[in-house]
Every structure is written in C-alpha cells, then in structure tokens.
Amino acid sequence: MRKLIAGNWKMNGLREDGTALAKTIAERARGNDAPEVDWLVCPPFTLLHAVADQLAGSPVRLGAQDCHYAENGAHTGDVAPAMLRDLCCSHVIVGHSERRQNHGETNELVQAKAEAARAHGMTPILCIGETQAERDAGRAMDVLTRQLEGSLPAAGDGELVIAYEPVWAIGTGRTATADDVRAAHAHVRAQLKKTYGEMSGAQMRILYGGSVKPANAGDLMATDDVNGALVGGASLKPDDFWRIGEAAG
Ligand code: PGA
C-alpha cells in the first residue's frame, strides 16, 4: 500500500512562515525525484486558504486538524465540514489526543465528527492511542479496542485512515519500539476487518504517530501494517518532513 505522510502543524505558523513551508513542500513534491508516497499537510484553520493556494497544481493534499459534526449553525468558534471542503480539504484529523485531553472529546463525539467528514467527501484521520499509565497497567490493547469500538464511523462510502499515536510518544522524543508498533497496528487491523469486513479492513491505512523523525522513520515505516506517518514537530521542518517521506517511499 502506498504510504501517506501527513504533517500535523498543530497550533503553529503565521502567514509568512506557513506559506513558505507549504511552498517548499509543494515544489519538492512536484519534482521528478519525489518519493512514491502521498503527501498531506494539516495547517491550522487560519492558514488553510493560503496553504491551498500554495499547493495548487502539486500532488500535496490539504487537511484540517478538527471539525464540528454539525452542518452549520450556532457553534461559535467551530468549523463545519462543508467549510473545510469548500477550501479544498481532502482530509480531517479527528480525535487527536490533544483534543481528547484538552477539550474533553469523547469517542462518541469523535465518531460524529468522522461521520460528518465522510458525509462531505473528506477522509477522516481518526487518532487513537494509550497513555503511559494505561500501557504500564498492561491495558494498551484494551484501550485501543475501546476507542475503536466507540469512535469508528458506521460502515459506508468513503475512505478512513487510522492514526495510532501512543500519547506518551507525542512530542516527547520517545518512540514506541518496532515490536510495540507492530503489535498495536496488528490489533487495529484486526479490529478494522472485524468492523468493516476483510476486504475493506485490509485496505484502510493505519499511520503511526509520535516523535517520528528522519532517524527513526526507516524502521517505523518498514514495520508490518504501518501505512504511513502522522508527523507533528518534524513536519514544521521541510528537510525533516521530506526525509521522512524518502524513508517511507
Ligand atoms: P509529534 O506529534 O511528531 O510532534 O510527536 C505527532 C502528533 O501529535 O500528531
């Protein structure tokens, strides 16, 4: 399966540096020596428009970091899926652990967002992952099962990407070992097949996220059932982001 290399810029970037970053990635991805991967960048809402302009005519896709589940209405500060689609977003991250932790997002809410994104023709990147305490208690796989059971969108048209991001590995410089990642991804794969059937479950991408860097990308991307990366910090450095794509391609 062709790998997806997705950059999650989080709450970073003003117009000048954000557009420069997008421009650099778009130019490189247009080149003949670009690795055989799918590229995606997910800037903050404020930069979607400007970044879309930079990506036009390049193979780099545009994604958002969150969405509301409703069509429109009295939801101050929120952004509807149709608004993202209107700005040419093809993907939306939902259920990132920073939203689950900082905004109290539940599995049920994440599921509603994923379904709303799909209803508008976008691919949700649904994030799951255990905390350090849950891993230490030997409950990592149970947590993933519970998160998937509670937040997977109902079977239906449209793509779905899962991102396995152990919370303790996000922004910490610590990455899971290849064995941990292999076990978690196999667990997710089995759950996807159970929910959507063998064929569909086998075709959905499962990304790894959590301190992915050029130095560890080769090993991580060569691990069974790892179909790409959701990259935070390193996606803000064009050279690092590019090298992660090369390691995956
Ligand atoms: P990180 O973030 O690469 O900075 O650890 C990954 C993520 O949270 O998506």
Q: Give me the CATH number covering residue 192.
A: 3.20.20.70
Task: Give the mean model confidence (pLDDT) for residues 45-69.
Answer: 98
> Which numbered atom of ligand 1 lies nearest the CA of 127?
9
pLDDT (0 to 100) of residue 77: 97
Ligand 1, atom 6, lies closest to the CA of 232
Q: What are the structure tokens assigned to 45, written together? A: 């809402």
176 Cβ contact list (under 8 Å, min separation 6): 166, 169, 184, 208, 210
Active site residue 96: yes
Task: Give the mean model confidence (pLDDT) for residues 215-237.
Answer: 97
pLDDT above 90 for 17: yes
DSSP-derived letter for residue 153 is P
Q: Which of 68, 130, 165, 185 is catalytic?
A: 165
Task: Give the mean model confidence (pLDDT) for residues 135-148.
Answer: 97
Residue 136, CB-side half-sphere exposure with 13 Å CA sphere: 5
In this prediction, what percent of the chain has a pLDDT beyond 90?
95
Q: What are the structure tokens assigned to 158, written together? A: 């449209």
Task: Give the mean model confidence (pLDDT) for residues 161-182.
Answer: 93
pLDDT (0 to 100) of residue 155: 87
Query: What is the distance between the alpha carbons of residues 216 and 181, in angstroms, rounded to a whole number?
Result: 12
Q: What are the structure tokens assigned to 230, written together? A: 């959701």
- 231: CA distance to ligand 1 center in Å? 5
Q: What are the structure tokens assigned to 93, written together? A: 């991250």
Residue 144: domain span? 4-248
Mean pLDDT of the chain: 97
**Based on the structure, what is the number of domains in the chain?**
1
pLDDT (0 to 100) of residue 28: 96
Sorting pLDDT into bands at 50, 70 and 90, what band is 32?
confident
The residue to which tokens 């109290």 are assigned: 104
Query: What is the distance between the alpha carbons of residues 113 and 97, in angstroms, rounded to a whole number?
Result: 14
pLDDT above 90 for 175: no
- 12: CA distance to ligand 1 center in Å? 13
The per-residue pLDDT for range 74-108, each reduced to its tens digit, is 999 999 999 999 999 999 999 999 999 999 999 99
The per-residue pLDDT for range 100-133, each reduced to its tens digit, is 999 999 999 999 999 999 999 999 999 999 999 9
Query: What is the distance between the alpha carbons of residues 205 and 184, in angstroms, rounded to a whole number?
Result: 14
Task: Give the mean model confidence (pLDDT) for residues 179-198.
Answer: 97
> Which numbered atom of ligand 1 lies nearest the CA of 163?
9
Task: Count the neighbouring beta carbons within 10 Å of the beta carbon of residue 221.
Answer: 22
Task: Give the mean model confidence (pLDDT) for residues 67-72.
Answer: 98
- 74: CA distance to ligand 1 center in Å? 31
